[in-house]
Amino acid sequence: MSEAQAVRNDPGVTKELTAFQRNVLVILAEEPRYGLAIKRELESYYDSEVNHGRLYPNLDDLVEMDLVEKSELDKRTNQYELTEVGYEALLDQLGWEFSKIATDEDRAADLRERIERAN
């Protein structure tokens, strides 16, 4: 296997993240959000309450890892935005997942179809 293939098929830093943290990154890939908006998106996805004690420490960890940038909207509200490093981490994760799922042309076609529908 060439070095380029190894990099493309490696989930990179995302392999060290929890599924919850990866979901936060995916939410922020759409657009920057403040904490409560992230919380609402997660609650919609999980169909259950996400408490502040879970969300904000995870956001802080993602900021510390340079995957998310935190800025102040006002004195009480912070906004979170996916960094370029975070975006690349998500692409690495998707590349790894696709390499495991697209094991033949039919499966690769299924993935292409899903991507087309997402646009």
CATH architecture of 3-118: Orthogonal Bundle (1.10)
Give me the count of residues in the chain: 119
CA angle 76, 82, 88 (to 5 degrees): 165
pLDDT tens by residue, 9-60: 677 888 899 999 999 999 999 999 999 999 999 999 999 999 999 999 999 9
pLDDT tens by residue, 49-106: 999 999 999 999 999 999 999 999 888 999 999 999 999 999 999 999 999 999 999 9
Give 70's contacts (C-beta < 8 A, 6+ positions apart).
59, 63, 78, 79, 80
Q: What is the pTM of this model?
A: 0.86
Domain ranges of the chain: 3-118
